[in-house]
Amino acid sequence: MNSREDIKKILKEEALRIIQEGRYKGIEELVFDIYEFQKRGNEKRSEEIYGILFPRLAAVGFERRQLMQMKAELRTIDNEKEVIKFIAKWKLHGDELEEQFIHVYKIILSIPFTTTKNKDEKIKELKYFMASNGIKNLGYKELPISLISVAGSLGEAMNFKVLIKVKTKYSKSDLENIFQPKYKLEKVKEFKDG
């Protein structure tokens, strides 16, 4: 059985996918529809659209308190200019909505089976691994290395760690699941402001 967090994550991803694909009306269009039906006095139809809009907004991270505040504000809107201000205030544009749920992390990562001769290759593999898993590399720094033992023709085995800054849609626990067991996450710190 999925945990509550798993379900929220699935709903959030699904809502963002729907917004990106544009198969259904976008958030902005739904807000304008609510305004139009309220203006015409069709309360039943505006409530139906709230029923479409709010689950999408909840799926991408808005809390119940915020949704109730939005509903109260929408009820007082009486022209299209105010609708546009409402959309801007709550950042309900497709790109802005998605951007709210992007995370920036600094990670200390151990790269196993690294030797003095394959170190550069291991860095290339890590960059490819991140790119293929939707994790944008914003830069990395090699941390001080401790040599473990001689590995024959491969050079010396080392305890190799890097500090990387990444940008991704994944949560901290998602990152741990993606990186491990191939890599070992020593430390993960999120930066709210990027």
Could you list the pLDDT tens digit for every one of the 194 residues in the chain?
Answer: 457 777 767 766 666 655 554 445 678 888 999 999 999 999 999 998 888 888 878 766 677 888 899 999 999 998 999 998 998 888 887 665 666 667 889 999 999 988 888 989 999 999 988 888 878 889 999 998 877 777 667 778 888 999 999 988 787 888 888 898 899 989 999 886 54
Query: Are both 11 and 95 inside the same structural domain?
Result: yes
Tell me which residue range forms the domain holding 166.
Answer: 103-191
Domain count along the chain: 2
Query: Are both 50 and 126 inside the same structural domain?
Result: no
Where residue 182 sits, what CATH number does that domain have?
3.30.70.60
Query: Are both 26 and 89 inside the same structural domain?
Result: yes
Domain boundary among 99, 129, 149: 99
Query: Are both 148 and 112 inside the same structural domain?
Result: yes
What are the Cα distances from residue 175, in Å, to 87, 134, 154, 182?
A: 32, 11, 30, 12
**Helix-helix angle 27-40:64-76, to 10 degrees:** 50
Tell me if residue 186 falls in helix, strand or coil.
strand
Report d(CA 71, CA 168) in Å as an integer. Answer: 31
Query: Are both 41 and 95 inside the same structural domain?
Result: yes
Domain boundary among 84, 99, 114: 99
Burial of 171 (0-12, 13-18, 19+ CB in 10 A): middle
Domain boundary among 99, 126, 149: 99
